[in-house]
Amino acid sequence: MSLLEIRGLTAAYGDFQALYGIDLKVEEGETVAIIGANGAGKTTLLRAIAGLLRTPPDCIRFDGAPIGSLAPSRIVRRGIALVPEGRRLFPSLTVEENLRMGAQSGRGGPWTLSRLYGLFPALAARRRAAATALSGGEQQMAAIGRALMANPRLLLCDEISLGLAPRVIRDVYAALPGIRAEGTTVLIVEQDTSRALAEADRVYCLQEGRVTLEGAPAALTRERIRLAYFGL
């Protein structure tokens, strides 16, 4: 049984359909990447998994149980945490308050404030600062930290490299091995294809709301990826 299993998932914003029958599987312990052009539906897919979009109940199974109709707060409790696109820290909370919000779901596990500060020492120094006062990289770390505080079994990361300098992107991604080492399964969305191929055990490519390619990085040629990515 896969940890996450999605079958024929559709999703829409009002009368605009964004996902057309997505099939996707994530095994426990794996790292899976989703790539795709702007507007392909990557964020929509993660938001649907996290429960922010209305989806048919049976389309999404987590650890064998259907979660498609659960509220986001219930889904976190089951063990799926999302690092949202654009970080979305709470601007009127301090860094530490933002992290503590992540623990709201009450799941126990390896991640505590002190372990997080070990993972991201930059945050420890700025724990009392307003979230808005952080640099882009620190904000991204705080957003990842907030999600980890829920001690998820599956961590969803939406473009954690967005708008960051290459050196900072390296720092942010440097945290992934430590997270995986705790047995956390990771599903990342990444526009940077080579980064995605380097990090992931398997890759899915989305295009206009459909899966156009799936496979282990070693098995995929550049040509096939380009075709799946752009459709030409």
Binding interface with another protein (CB under 8 A): 15-17, 20, 50-52, 71-73, 76-77, 81-82, 84, 88, 90-93, 97, 100-102, 104-106, 130, 132, 146, 150, 208-209
Which of another protein, Mg ion, ligand ATP, none does residue 114 bind to, with CB < 5 to 8 Å depending on kind?
Answer: none
For residues 58 and 73, give the distance between their C-alpha atoms in angstroms, rounded to a whole number. Answer: 18
Least Å from the CB of residue 222 to ligand ATP: 20
Q: Which residue lies nearer to Mg ion by CB, 69 or 191?
A: 191
Least Å from the CB of residue 130 to Mg ion: 26
Least Å from the CB of residue 47 to ligand ATP: 7
43 belongs to the binding site for Mg ion (CB under 5 A): yes
For the residues of the chain, what is the DSSP string, one character each?
A: --SEEEEEEEEEETTEEEEEEEEEEE-TT-EEEEEE-TTSSHHHHHHHHHTSS---GGGEEETTEE-TTS-HHHHHHHTEEEE-TT----TTSBHHHHHHHHGGG---SS--HHHHHHH-HHHHHTTTSBGGGS-HHHHHHHHHHHHHTT--SEEEEE-TTTT--HHHHHHHHTTHHHHHHTT-EEEEE-S-HHHHHHH-SEEEEEETTEEEEEE-GGG--HHHHHHHHH--
Q: Which residue lies nearer to another protein by CB, 97 or 201?
A: 97
18 belongs to the binding site for ligand ATP (CB under 6 A): yes
Q: Which residue lies nearer to ligand ATP by CB, 30 or 159?
A: 159
Which of another protein, Mg ion, ligand ATP, none does residue 191 bind to, with CB < 5 to 8 Å depending on kind?
Answer: ligand ATP
13 belongs to the binding site for ligand ATP (CB under 6 A): yes
Q: Which residue lies nearer to another protein by CB, 146 or 202?
A: 146
44 belongs to the binding site for Mg ion (CB under 5 A): no
For residues 161 and 189, give the distance between their C-alpha atoms in angstroms, rounded to a whole number. Answer: 10
42 belongs to the binding site for ligand ATP (CB under 6 A): yes
161 belongs to the binding site for Mg ion (CB under 5 A): no
Beta carbons of 61 and 38 less than 8 angstroms apart: no
Least Å from the CB of residue 232 to ligand ATP: 18
Q: Is 114 exposed, middle or buried (0-12, 13-18, 19+ CB in 10 A)?
A: exposed
- Binding region for ligand ATP (CB under 6 A): 13, 16, 18, 36, 38-44, 85, 191
Residue ranges that bind Mg ion, judged by CB under 5 A: 43, 85
